[in-house]
Amino acid sequence: MAVVTAAALAQPSRGQPSLAVPSLAVPSLAELTERIRPVALAPARTLALAPEVAHLGPIRRGTVVEVFGPGLVLRLLAGPTNEGAWAALVGAVELNLGAAAEHGVALARVAVVAGPPADLVGTVVASLVDALEVVVLGPQVVAELRAPAARRLTARARERGSVVMAMGVWPEPAERRLVVTEMAWEGLGQGWGSLQRASMVVQATGRGSASRPGSYRLAG
């Protein structure tokens, strides 16, 4: 897992910032881009999803997907990160890294970026969309985006073949919306027992032939 600061991402490429964090080997954006370049240029048109979420339908590269539910975001990240994709979590404080590991996310291929200042959101996210295959934006980050910036990021994702997962309502029409409408836990009694698994119901809507609208149950 790499920890990258928003300020460093917003800096011009000519001045490679030092992103040293105690006890962590933190790559610069240029180094990160170089590492994932062979993956970013892969010919696949959709993300590699884990079998447990594959029936939700394909997630096409170059699109924006609204995802409501932290557990669902982690399940969607497990497949691509284990197939070699790099992902960034931007201001996504709702996503617990311990839970991410339990869901099978390859943390070695995840960059964590603190929520950038409002005036740097567009710049920071654009830098990540240029470099990584999947960029997850926390609710507060999405809320700070205005329509013109969102429009530019949508176009940039389409050009680069990246996927933006927005944990909130995108200012422009997104290709797909996945909403967790129901959660169920097994293994817990009245003050006793331990959580063994959780299942969820996901409502899918969207545009185009890849949207697969409907209600889907995901087993724990």
What local confidence, expressed as pLDDT, does residue 19 receive? 35
Rounded-to-integer distance, Cα 86 and Cα 117, Å: 23
What local confidence, expressed as pLDDT, does residue 3 receive? 66
Instruction: Note the Cα 114 to chain centre separation in Å.
Output: 14
pLDDT digits 0-9 by tens, 21-73: 333 444 555 565 555 554 444 447 999 999 999 999 999 999 999 999 999 99
Domains and CATH numbers, the chain: 2-177 (3.40.50.300)
Rounded-to-integer distance, Cα 160 and Cα 130, Å: 6
pLDDT digits 0-9 by tens, 170-215: 999 999 999 999 988 776 555 555 555 678 999 999 987 667 889 9
Q: Which helix (H) or strand (E) holds 29?
A: helix 29-40
> Looking at the whole model, is its pTM more than 0.85?
no
